[in-house]
Amino acid sequence: MRGYPDIRNVVVAFLLWMAFAHGASATGVESAKDLRIDPVPCVTAVAANDDDKTIDLCGALIDNEKTEKADRIRALIGRGAAYGHKDNTDRAIADYSVALQLDPSLASTFNARGELWRKKGDRPKALADFGAALKLNPDHFIAKANYKSLALELERLGALKAVAGKPSFNCATARRAVEKAICANPEFADLDREINAAYIRSSGDIQNPIEKRTLQRGQEEFIARRNAEFGRPGYNLQQEMKKRLQELNGTDGY
């Protein structure tokens, strides 16, 4: 789930407030030096969803040594969101990280950075950021949804890793040549396990006894043919296993 709109709203609200507090306004007669410490151009670009101007104008605010801390933080968040929209993930993470160093109480920024870590494939860092966001704000619904979905994903990946390269039967008791070949090849083993899982799932979905028996007969015939024809000229075990898996899952299931 993307958190950018959440971050953008925070940026706009805070920067507008700061611009009001400063009584700042950008006019054509102001010097370039004054414009660089005026938060209005930055917040205007963020509010207009103009990522290029946001990067330029908020960057000027960030780089100016006279910029107040609060303005710099919000400019970092605004520019980070813009970089994220442009798929410049590393630069976005860098801006969010600096903002969090300056103010570690920003729940939405933790969530936004977590989404970027997840995009990069660094799930542990993503989960840590989602967790940090929830610790700061237990009611942050975006962070809550992100944390839950990532936790389930990690759980599923852990389960898949545990059975990777293992067939549906016990290799220690394998006697047939085809069974030994399946045990010796991780790809064959995964296919065998997937075929067995698809068969069990399909069987459970069928209520009609005749259809259930037809499915069972098809599975028995596949295994019998596999056992009898393996090793013979022209028989391709991998091809036949993929074909059977497709039959069980449906035309678009594999």
Q: Domains in the chain: how many in total? A: 2
Read off the CATH number of the domain in which 43 is found: 1.25.40.10
User: Are residue 126 and residue 203 in the same domain, yes or no?
Assistant: no
**What confidence tens digit (pLDDT) does each residue in 131-159 have?**
999 999 999 999 999 999 998 888 888 87
Minimal CA–CA distance to 89: which of 118, 67, 61?
118
pTM, 2 dp: 0.59
Is 75 within a domain? yes
| Full residue range of the structural domain in which residue 83 is found | 4-160
The CA dihedral of 63, 40, 99, 7, to the nearest 10 degrees, is -140
> Is 228 in a helix, a strand, or coil?
helix
The tens digit of pLDDT for each residue in 39-83 reads 899 999 999 989 999 999 999 999 998 999 999 999 999 999 999
**Are 23 and 140 members of one domain?**
yes
Same domain, 140 and 68: yes
Q: 150 and 74, same structural domain?
A: yes
- Is residue 254 situated within a structural domain? no
Same domain, 136 and 65: yes
pLDDT in tens, the chain (254 residues): 444 445 555 555 555 544 544 544 444 444 444 444 788 999 999 999 899 999 999 999 999 989 999 999 999 999 999 999 999 999 999 999 999 999 999 999 999 999 999 999 998 899 999 999 999 999 999 999 999 999 888 888 887 788 888 998 889 889 999 999 999 999 999 999 999 888 988 888 888 999 999 999 999 999 999 999 999 999 999 999 999 999 998 744 43
Give the separation between CA 69 and CA 64, rounded to whole angstroms.
11
Same domain, 138 and 238: no
Q: Does 219 fall in a domain?
A: yes
Same domain, yes or no: 180 and 150? no
Do 68 and 184 belong to one domain? no
The answer to whether position 78 is within a domain reads: yes
